[in-house]
Amino acid sequence: MRDLQVEFGDAFERWSDELFRHALMRLSDRDKALEVTQECFLRTMQYARSGKVIEQLRPFLYRTLRHLIIDEYRRTKAVSLEAMTESEDGPTLDTVLPPDESNTLESAMERFDAARAAGLLTTLPEPYREALTLRYIDGMSVPEVAAIVGVSENVVSVRVHRGLKKLKDLLEHE
């Protein structure tokens, strides 16, 4: 069995920056982002050392990080978990988007400056900020985002679509 220290050392070298980036995009506070990133690795290492199996380490780290970010939100903003996970999605989450609509919206983003967009992305409300960060900053596919967030792929598509619309509005009116 490969030494856990070595395995997590490699994981740290590969993914610590992207996990930190994700935390910072979500929390907008560098110290807190550093803290949750470190805690994420620590808790995952403890989980593995307890003998439990981790099938895929990268998504596991993202899920752990997500929980820590939610804990941080609760600590500082007193926001309910339900508010963070539903927002304007409403009780019916199985909206299926016509394929053309998302493609058109993505194409419409071409004319905007990516640097401004990255900054404005951090001002979006949750869960759109999370969905867009995972999808376009962390480079995950819709199924991967769904697995990390724990919702259906349709929900992810809706959140990405609505998040892009909000981002586009911000870019047009800034």
Place of tokens 């992810």: 156
Best CA proximity match to 137, nearest among 117, 156, 157:
117
Three-state secondary structure string covering 90-140: CCCCCCCCCHHHHHHHHHHHHHCCHHHHHHHHCCCCCCHHHHHHHHHHCCC
For position 62 contacting other proteins by CB under 8 A, the verdict is no
DSSP 150: T
Residues 28-47 that bind other proteins (CB under 8 A): 34-35, 37-39, 41-42, 45-46
For position 137 contacting other proteins by CB under 8 A, the verdict is yes
State the nearest-atom distance from the C-beta of 127 to other proteins, in Å: 18
Q: Which residue from 70, 84, 117, 170 is in contact with other proteins, where contact means CB under 8 A?
A: 117
* Binding residues vs other proteins (CB under 8 A): 3, 5-6, 8-10, 12-14, 16-17, 20-21, 24-25, 34-35, 37-39, 41-42, 45-46, 49, 106-107, 109-110, 112, 114-115, 117-118, 121, 136-137, 139
